[in-house]
Structures are given as C-alpha cells and as structure tokens.
Chain A
Amino acid sequence: MTTLIRANLPVLVVIAPLFVAFILPPLARRIRLVEALALLGAVLGLGGAGYLASIVLTQQENPFIYQLGGWPAPWGIELVAGSLGVFFLLVVGVSVPVLLFAQGNLAAEVGGAERVTRFYVLYLLLVGAMAGMAVTNDMFNVYVLVEVATLSCCGLVSARRYPRAAEAAFTYLILATLGSALVLGGIGLIYLITGHLNMGFAAQELSRVWLARPHVVLMAVSLIVVGFGVKAALFPLHVWLPDAHSTAPSPASAILSGLAVKGYLICLVKFLYGVFGPTLLQEFAVHRILTLLGGVGIITGSILALTQEELKRRLAYSTVAQVGYLILGFGLLNVTGLAGALFYLASHAVIKATLFLAAGAMLAATGKRNVRDLAGVGRKMPITMAAFTIGSLGLIGLPLFSGFIGKWYLLLGSWEAGLILPAVAILAGSVLCAAYLLPVIRAAYFAPAPEEDWPDPGRPQKLALLLLAAAVVILGVRPGPFLELAQKAAAELLAFY
C-alpha cells in the first residue's frame, strides 16, 4: 500500500483535492461533514506534498518523474516533481489554514448556507489545479489547468450574490479568458515549430530550430508573457485584480491573492526557463522587459495602494506591487535573484493570506471597510490585529520576518546582475509598503477605542490566523529547507545558462 502511494505520489497530490471536490455536492445538506471533508482534501494534498518534498530533498529521486497512464514522455503526459514543483506544492499548503478560517462562519460570508458547498467545491478545484500546475510538464496540460483555475477563481469571486461581485467576476472572466487564449496561441506556435507538447522535448527542439524561425519564437514568447501577465496581474495588465480580490468573500480573497496569482507565475517560470531557456530570453531581451515591468509595477502598485481608503482594496493593490517583485526577480537571470523571487513567492503567499484573513475578520466583526473607521480595533481584537501586524512587518521586509529573506536575495541578485534601478525599486517598495500598512497598525493600537463590542473571531479562525502568523515568523527565522528548495530550483532552471 505504501509503495503504491509512493509510486503514484505526484498524481495523488493533484487528484486528492479534485476527488474530494466532486464528492461534496451530494452531501450539501450536511455542512459539518462537507467542511470536514474539504479540510481533509486540502490536508491530504499538503501531506502528499510534504512526503514528496522529503523524497526530493533527500535525493532519493530528483526529479520524481511520473508518466500518466504509463505512456512514456513524448507521447504521454508527464508529471515532474522536481525542486520547483515540490516547492510550489508546499506553497499550495497555504490553502489549509485558509480553509480552517472558513470553518463555521462561511455561511455569513457567502450569504446563505446552500452556497457553502459550492464555495468548497470551487475552492478545492482551485487547489487541485494549483497542485497540477506545480507538477505538470506538458504545455497543453498547463492550459487546461489554467482554465480550471480561472473558472474556479471567477466562481469564488462571484460567490456572493452581490451585483458588484458579479461585475468584478465578469471583468475578471473576460480578461482571464483573453489571457488564456493568448497563452494557447503561444503554445500552438511552439507546437507548430517543435512538434512537441512536452516541455523538455520542446525545449530541446526549440534550441535547434529557433535560429531558422526567430519571428515565430518571438511571437510565442510575447503571447505567453502577456497571457500569463494578464492572469498574474503584471502591472499594466492588473486592472481586474483590485475589484475581484476586494469584493470576494474573505477566505476567497486570501486564496486568490495568496495562491491563485502564484500558480500562473510558476507556469510562466516553467515556460520562460523550462521551454525557452535563458539564452533565448537574453536574445529577445525578455529579461530586461520583465525587470522593467516588475520595477514599475512595484512602485505604481504601492502608490495606488497608498491612495486606497478601503482596507481590502489596499491589500489588493499591494498584491499588484508584490507581483512586481516576483517578475523583477524572474528577469534578473541569475540564481540568487531567481531563488529570491521564488522564496518571496512563498513568503508573500503566507503573508497575504494572513493579511486578508485578518482584514476579513475585522470586516466581519466591525462591518467597517475603511481604514479610518478601524481605529482602536487592536485593543478589541488583540489576536486578529497581532496576526495583521506580523503580516505587515513581514510584507515590509523587516529582519526576522519571511519577507526580509526574499527581498535580501532579490537585492543581492540585482547587485550580481549589475543593475542599480531594480535595487532602488525594491527598497522604495519596502518604504511605500511601510507607508500604507503602518498607519493601519498605528490607528488600531494607539487611537482611542470606540464603545462598540468587537470580539475576536471564533476558535478555528484564531487558530488559522496564528498558524499563518507563525509561518511568517518561522520562514523568517529558520528558512532552512524552503530556502534550500528555492535555491535548488533556481539552480536547476538556470543550469544550461
């Protein structure tokens, strides 16, 4: 039994959440059971990811290659759990505390008990698609997973029957479909000139044929960068994000900002480094464009966040800025920078989940959306605000918090690449981040508290917030295996450069 599980591990981590998602609808009337099963599905996924990580980290098998249906690589679909895949599978584990937060109070959040099950189904589909993106090594498979993730994201955004949410979901759906059509076009062009859908084989063939067909390759790169850029809210293409992420129910905001955006970025990394390869990126100056867009995204996203009154919108714009850091890191084209970007991706997943959940708990308890009205909330809801503070300090990038290590490696990476401006953008982003998050904390603790009674949320919510806040600190103090995985993944991606 254990050998069977071990042999099929890469597909099991994807199947487990999907399977649970599909058995939930008939059980809709028994909400307790649905909640327990949903949590079980996510925990199974995380457990499998942990096991897989231990196998890959101890070099028993690295990468762990799995052939779906037993068909070998150029014909069948291949799942590869290398350092990058395992790393992102562990990041997908953020879905567990977010699900824990949803326990018990989701009905109020989505406006009706009958919608709770639908929410969990979409949530688990998203988690399954994210796990799939981590391990897949087939380009068309990436497209299918991207579409599954997009549709479930849009479903999550429109979970409340709130006209504003439907509007945000529609905009998101249209732009995201535009993005996936572009990605599919890019995949089609790669298939046209290489004849392969498997990333490894396509990369080999591409390195041979690209000189004969440079224009097709250029088209394919641009389609894929722009396509995933729309989906991951890369700066000028971010217009859908603030509405979608701020109108969604709080657990959905946390998972959308924390995880969903990252899945597309991981796919982008796989295409950029796994299919095109660093040499081609340099040939077409794609890395410069990425660094530029990332830097501009950091500054603009932060300034836009600074101007937002509504707390959840401020956090949503902050996500645009943080995506800028990751894209900037992808464009530095050295191991330090890429490892920093990957670690920052994990760190931001945890931090943004903490911040959105804390903001959601405050919104649920006080009914106040705006930062200004939340004065004194720190004394009424100590645990929620403590988690929010830890998350904020992490996002700003103070030492001992997880954001610091990511930013530090990004800075070292831009130093190595001999670029000053990205380093300036990274530091300016930190200062701006402090400017838009610290006033929230200051008002929460030092302003006089109002008369009303604002209680901390229930026990599962508190536990979820504490788990996430602890993760922010642990990743900052002892990044150990996580940083090692990120560095290994970066080294493998840039191996032939």
Chain B
Amino acid sequence: MSGLLTKVLINYPYLVAVLLFTIGTFTVLTHPNLFKKLLGINIMESAIFLMFVASGNIRGGVAPIRGTTNAEAVYINPLPSALMLTGIVVSVSVTAFALALIMRLYKAYGTTDLRRIAARRKEVISDDHLDQG
C-alpha cells in the first residue's frame, strides 16, 4: 500500500490532472450557466495540457538546448510542451467562439442561464427581427 502511495505522490502532476479533469467535466455537465460551462471546458482542457507537459518532464532535467550545458545533462522531452502550445491555441479559439455565441444568446434571451433560456424560448422564437441583426 505504501508503495502505491509513494508512486502516487511521486507522480502528483498526474493526480492533479485527474482532479482538474473531474472538476471540469462535472462543471460542464451540471451547471446551467453558460459561462460556468465554458469555464469547466477550460479547466478540463488545462488538465489535459498538464498531463501532456508532465509527461515530458524529467526531474533535474534541463532544457534541450545544445552546447549550453555539460555533456552528462539529462534533457527533458520538449515535444509534449510544443504540442500543448497548439492545444492552447485551439482552446483559446474555442473560448472566443463560445463567448461570441454567449453574447448572441444574451442579446436574444437577456440571460445566460440555460433554464431561463428554455423558459423564454417560446417568446423569442417568433421574433424574426433578430434574424436580420
């Protein structure tokens, strides 16, 4: 048991990633507020980024730049970090697009709460002037 515990403690970045992922998914699926849903998505994606970046890290390793360190230095793996740079860009564009949609929904319904939107859907659906705007 203590062996498992030390393993978990040594690999704590992964544990944090799992925790964050759970928190994010839970928020996305349970909160009726659109902003909270978006925050949940961001937390969830951060968890995945953390997992990737942690996988490239080596304790005591140095940045893989040739010629600046001694020969015995252990290099960390830069590839996961580079991949996550792309991941962050994707995540930012998703967030921007979702915010634009939230703005449009707020203009139409006057609320960012999914339950209230569902209640007001009947009033707004015939409102065709919004279609022109």
The B-contacting residues of A in range 333-376, CB under 8 angstroms, are: none
**A164 CB contacts on chain B under 8 angstroms:** 121, 125
Stretch of B2-10, B64-72, B92-100 at the chain-chain interface: B92-100
Q: Is the CB of A178 within 8 A of B25?
A: yes
Q: What's the minimum C-beta distance from B116 to chain A, rounded to whole angstroms?
A: 12
Q: What's the minimum C-beta distance from A350 to chain B, rounded to whole angstroms?
A: 30
**A170 CB contacts on chain B under 8 angstroms:** 34, 98, 101-102, 105
**A155 CB contacts on chain B under 8 angstroms:** 97
Contacts A163-B109, A164-B125, A166-B104; A184 near B48 (Cβ below 8 A): yes
**A191 CB contacts on chain B under 8 angstroms:** 52, 55, 80
Q: What's the minimum C-beta distance from B75 to chain A, rounded to whole angstroms?
A: 14
Contacts A163-B124, A164-B125, A177-B94; A192 near B55 (Cβ below 8 A): yes
In the assembled complex, 11 residue pairs joining A and B whose CB atoms fall closer than 8 Å, in A order, are A111-B131, A143-B87, A151-B97, A158-B104, A173-B98, A174-B28, A174-B38, A177-B41, A177-B94, A181-B44, A192-B55
**B38 CB contacts on chain A under 8 angstroms:** 174
Q: Is A19 an interface residue (CB 8 A)?
A: no
Number of A-B contacts (CB under 8 A): 83
Q: Is the CB of B87 within 8 A of A184?
A: yes
A164 closest partner in B (C-beta): B125
Q: Is the interface of B mostly helix, strand, loop or mixed?
A: helix
Q: Is the CB of B93 within 8 A of A161?
A: no
The B-contacting residues of A in range 142-196, CB under 8 angstroms, are: 143-144, 147, 151, 154-155, 158, 160-164, 166-167, 169-170, 173-174, 177-178, 181, 184-185, 188, 191-192
Contacts A147-B90, A178-B41; A112 near B132 (Cβ below 8 A): yes
Give the interface size class of chain B: 35 or more
Query: How far, in whole Å, are A185 and B93 apart by their CA atoms in the complex?
Result: 19
**B83 CB contacts on chain A under 8 angstroms:** 140
The B-contacting residues of A in range 234-276, CB under 8 angstroms, are: none
**B121 CB contacts on chain A under 8 angstroms:** 164, 167
Q: Is the CB of A161 within 8 A of B132?
A: yes
Give the interface size class of chain A: 20 to 34
Query: How far, in whole Å, are A88 and B124 apart by their CA atoms in the complex?
Result: 41
Q: Is B76 an interface residue (CB 8 A)?
A: no
The A-contacting residues of B in range 75-123, CB under 8 angstroms, are: 80, 83, 86-87, 90, 93-94, 97-98, 101-102, 104-105, 108-109, 117, 121
Q: Is the CB of A167 within 8 A of B105?
A: yes
Q: Is the CB of B104 within 8 A of A173?
A: no
Contacts A184-B87, A188-B51; A163 near B104 (Cβ below 8 A): yes
**B105 CB contacts on chain A under 8 angstroms:** 163, 166-167, 170
Q: What's the minimum C-beta distance from B109 to chain A, rounded to whole angstroms?
A: 7
- Starting from the known contacts A161-B131, A170-B34, 6 additional A-B residue pairs (CB-CB under 8 Å) come to A147-B94, A154-B97, A170-B98, A170-B101, A170-B102, A185-B21
**B101 CB contacts on chain A under 8 angstroms:** 154, 158, 166, 169-170, 173
Encode contact with B along A25-64: 1 for CB under 8 Å, 0 otherwise: 0000000000000000000000000000000000000000
Query: How far, in whole Å, are A144 and B84 apart by their CA atoms in the complex?
Result: 11
- B contacts, CB < 8 Å to A: 21, 25, 28, 34, 37-38, 41, 44-45, 48, 51-52, 55, 80, 83, 86-87, 90, 93-94, 97-98, 101-102, 104-105, 108-109, 117, 121, 124-125, 127, 130-133
Query: How far, in whole Å, are A147 and B34 apart by their CA atoms in the complex?
Result: 21
Q: Is the CB of B55 within 8 A of A188?
A: yes
Query: How far, in whole Å, are A173 and B101 apart by their CA atoms in the complex?
Result: 10
Q: Could you say which of A151, A162, A167, A185 contacts B94, with CB atoms under 8 Å apart?
A: A151
Query: How far, in whole Å, are A381 and B66 apart by their CA atoms in the complex?
Result: 71
**A167 CB contacts on chain B under 8 angstroms:** 105, 117, 121
**A177 CB contacts on chain B under 8 angstroms:** 41, 45, 94
Contacts A166-B104, A166-B105, A167-B117; A181 near B98 (Cβ below 8 A): no
**A169 CB contacts on chain B under 8 angstroms:** 101
Query: How far, in whole Å, are A185 and B130 apart by their CA atoms in the complex?
Result: 39
A140 closest partner in B (C-beta): B83
**A143 CB contacts on chain B under 8 angstroms:** 87
**A161 CB contacts on chain B under 8 angstroms:** 104, 130-133
**B133 CB contacts on chain A under 8 angstroms:** 161
Query: How far, in whole Å, are A390 and B117 apart by their CA atoms in the complex?
Result: 40
Query: How far, in whole Å, are A184 and B94 apart by their CA atoms in the complex?
Result: 15
**A188 CB contacts on chain B under 8 angstroms:** 48, 51-52, 55, 80
Q: Is the CB of A178 within 8 A of B124?
A: no
Query: How far, in whole Å, are A177 and B90 apart by their CA atoms in the complex?
Result: 10
Q: What's the minimum C-beta distance from A280 to chain B, rounded to whole angstroms?
A: 21
Query: How far, in whole Å, are A59 and B131 apart by their CA atoms in the complex?
Result: 53
**A178 CB contacts on chain B under 8 angstroms:** 25, 28, 41, 44
Q: Could you say which of B51, B98, B109 contacts A174, with CB atoms under 8 Å apart?
A: B98
A139 closest partner in B (C-beta): B83
**A173 CB contacts on chain B under 8 angstroms:** 94, 97-98, 101
